[in-house]
Amino acid sequence: MKKLLSLLVAFLVIGGLTACSSGSGEKVAETIKIGVNLELTGDVSVYGIPERNAFEQATAEINAAGGIDGKLVELVIYDNAYDQAKAVQNTEKLIEDGVVAILGSATSGMTLAIAPLAKDNGLVVFTPSGTNSAVTMDGTNVNPWAFRACFIDPFQGQVLANFASGDLGAKNAVVMVNSGSEYSKELARIFTEQFTANGGKVVETASYADADTDYKASLTSIATKSFEVLFVADYAKNAGLIIGQARSTAGLETVNIIGPDGFEDPALNDLAGGAQNVSNVFFSTHFSTLSNDQQVADFVKSHAAFTLEKYGKAEVPSALTALAYDAAYMLFKAIDNADSTDPAAIRDALEALEAFDGVTGDISFDKFHNAVKPAFLIELNNGVPVNATIVNP
């Protein structure tokens, strides 16, 4: 009996959920449906969730302002769980649902699974943060339907290498790379190329696995080398720990540490074991909450208010949030400019966008649909940004 009861409860839960969703779907007014295909569960959901929040904020704002050409925007959101099979299935479903364009995914891997399918079906796929150079490509040509709102890894790797050999005057560098991350490996490769071309030498490349939390062994070995700059090509979840552990390793207490946009994370100081450990740290990014741009300040405020109301917790926008927010607005602008919800017209209008004034800077697309926009180079002293240099492409 007890068993039966628990079974009944389980079915009621599932049934209730199904009923909830089917009730709210019908709307009489004509809406513009936009598909969202993101990593909302699993290990990489930490990239997908902030992007979803930004998409929802942008949509709520545009609808509050009367929608696009009088039509309200409706997001159709599916989770791909960082599984290419699900990413493809979601895309097929979104096409069936009649979306006019697809926003996502957060990672290059999933976008690479979606993009060929979107191309075959003539639908724009717009990733806020897929930085792998192949994402917008179809072999050696550009995939006409794939766009991204971020700069690509080569640009960032070059900016960092030039900064290391120029501003920091480094001749020898050590690179730490996450062997399970395409993002990290690509950045490390480009950095090494450019740094060597600048006349410097990468004296050691140390690898670790994505789930590692203990980097002491690599750091102890690195400390025996002679070098001026340590490039940690990873997100804050690993980079923060590396910074903290480097600061307690003999010989690495004050060495310059540089990193990519992945450093941009409110948790960086905590992960490094406290703000006192985060000095002589430099990173490049798309976006800084401390920019004195009014638009950015407004966005930081409105995002906190939106997430507090919708999810019960005020979030500080990360670079991913800001990129997703810009991507959503660029798509809205393209639909508005196209005066049509025809996918091909939207594609043309998106491609034609120029110097779009977003929270991550002025954005245009190059001929390979990569966002062309400035990078910020930020210096942290005791965990606080003290210097922000703009590097134009």
Partner 1 sequence: MKNVLNKRNLITLVIIGVLFFVVQLLIKERIITAYMRSNIYWIGIYIILGLSLNMIIGITGQLSLGHAGFMSIGAFAAAVVLKTNPTLTGLFIGIGIGVLISLAVSFVVAVPTLRLKGDYLAIATLGVAEIIRIVLNNLSVTGGASGISNIKMLMSWPLLYTFVILTIFLTHNFKNSAIGRACISIKEDEIAAEAMGINTTKYKVIAFMFGAALAAMAGSLFSTTYYIVKPDSFGVNTSINILILVVFGGMGSLSGTIIATFIIGLVNIVLQPYAEIRMILYALILIIVMIFRPQGLLGSQELSTKLLPNFKWKRKEKSS
Partner 2 sequence: MLEFLNQIINGLSLGSIYALVALGYTMVYGIIRLINFAHGEIYMFGAFAGMLAITVLRLPFFLALIFAMVVSALLGVVIERVAYKPLRKSTKTAALITAIGISFLLQNVTAMVMGNNTSAFPQVFDQKVYDLGGIRINSLQILIFGVTIVLMFLLQFIVLKTKLGRAMRAVAVDKDASVLMGVNVDNTITITFAIGSALAAAAGVLIGLYHIRVVFWMGTAPGLKAFVAAVFGGIGSIPGAMIGGFAIGLMEALVAGYGGTMWSPYRDAVVYLLLIIVLLVKPSGLLGKNVKEKV
Q: Which residues contribute to the site for partner 1 (CB under 8 A)? A: 3, 6-7, 10, 13-14, 17-18, 21, 40-42, 77-79, 81, 83-90, 92-93, 95-96, 108-109, 112-113, 115-117, 132, 134, 137-139, 179-182, 184-186
In the list partner 2, partner 1, none, the entry touching 220 (Cβ below 5 to 8 angstroms by class) is partner 2
Encoded one letter per residue, x for contact with partner 2 by CB under 8 A and - for no contact, window 302-321 reads -----------x--------
Can you tell me the distance from the alpha carbon of 130 to that of 242, in angstroms, rounded to the nearest whole number?
A: 24
Which residues make Cβ contacts (< 8 Å) with residue 352, sequence separation at least 6? 337
In the list partner 2, partner 1, none, the entry touching 302 (Cβ below 5 to 8 angstroms by class) is none
Q: Is 276 in the site for partner 2 (CB under 8 A)?
A: no
Q: Which of residues 183-212 bind partner 2 (CB under 8 A)?
A: 204-209, 211-212
Closest CA to 360 of 325, 332, 312, 311: 325
Closest CA to 334 of 130, 34, 131: 34
In the list partner 2, partner 1, none, the entry touching 362 (Cβ below 5 to 8 angstroms by class) is none
Q: What is the spatial order of strands in the sheet that 356-358 belongs to?
A: 356-358, 361-365, 371-372
Written as six digits, the tokens of 267 are 């948790």
In the list partner 1, partner 2, none, the entry touching 313 (Cβ below 5 to 8 angstroms by class) is partner 2
Give the residue with the Cβ less far from partner 1, 108 or 218: 108
Q: Considering only residues 128, 157, 244, 317, which one is a binding residue for partner 2 as defined by CB under 8 A?
A: 244
**Bridge-partner residues for 281, per DSSP?**
257, 380
325 to 66, 279, 304: CA distances (angstroms)? 18, 30, 13
Give the residue with the Cβ less far from partner 2, 49 or 95: 49
Give the residue with the Cβ less far from partner 1, 164 or 187: 187
What are the backbone dihedrals phi and psi of residue 201, each rounded to the nearest 5 degrees, phi first?
-140, 130
The distance of closest approach from Cβ of residue 183 to partner 2 in the complex, given in angstroms and rounded to an integer, is 16
Q: What is the spatial order of strands in the sheet that 31-38 belongs to?
A: 72-79, 31-38, 101-104, 124-127, 146-148
The distance of closest approach from Cβ of residue 273 to partner 1 in the complex, given in angstroms and rounded to an integer, is 28
In the list partner 2, partner 1, none, the entry touching 46 (Cβ below 5 to 8 angstroms by class) is partner 2
**Bridge-partner residues for 32, per DSSP?**
73
Can you tell me the distance from the alpha carbon of 136 to that of 133, in angstroms, rounded to the nearest whole number?
A: 7
Q: Is 65 in the site for partner 2 (CB under 8 A)?
A: no
The distance of closest approach from Cβ of residue 114 to partner 1 in the complex, given in angstroms and rounded to an integer, is 8
The distance of closest approach from Cβ of residue 221 to partner 2 in the complex, given in angstroms and rounded to an integer, is 4
User: DSSP letters of 79-140?
Assistant: E-TT-HHHHHHHHHHHHHHT-SEEEE-SSHHHHHHHHHHHHHTT-EEEESS---GGGGEETT
In the list partner 2, partner 1, none, the entry touching 335 (Cβ below 5 to 8 angstroms by class) is none
Q: Is 217 in the site for partner 2 (CB under 8 A)?
A: yes
Q: Is 8 in the site for partner 2 (CB under 8 A)?
A: no
Task: Identify the burial level of 1 via C-beta atoms within 10 angstroms of its C-beta, where 0-12 means exposed, 13-18 middle and 19 or more buried.
Answer: exposed
Closest CA to 86 of 122, 57, 114, 118: 114
The distance of closest approach from Cβ of residue 13 to partner 2 in the complex, given in angstroms and rounded to an integer, is 13
In the list partner 2, partner 1, none, the entry touching 181 (Cβ below 5 to 8 angstroms by class) is partner 1
Q: Torsion over CA of 223, 226, 229 and 231, rounded to 10 degrees?
A: -60
Give the residue with the Cβ less far from partner 1, 85 or 305: 85
Closest CA to 320 of 2, 39, 112: 39
Give the residue with the Cβ less far from partner 2, 145 or 235: 235
Give the residue with the Cβ less far from partner 1, 209 or 352: 209
Give the residue with the Cβ less far from partner 1, 88 or 372: 88
Note whether 146 and 125 are within 8 A (CB). yes
Residue ranges in contact with partner 2 by CB under 8 A:
41-43, 45-46, 49, 179, 204-209, 211-214, 216-218, 220-221, 224, 236-237, 240-241, 244, 248-250, 267, 270-274, 313
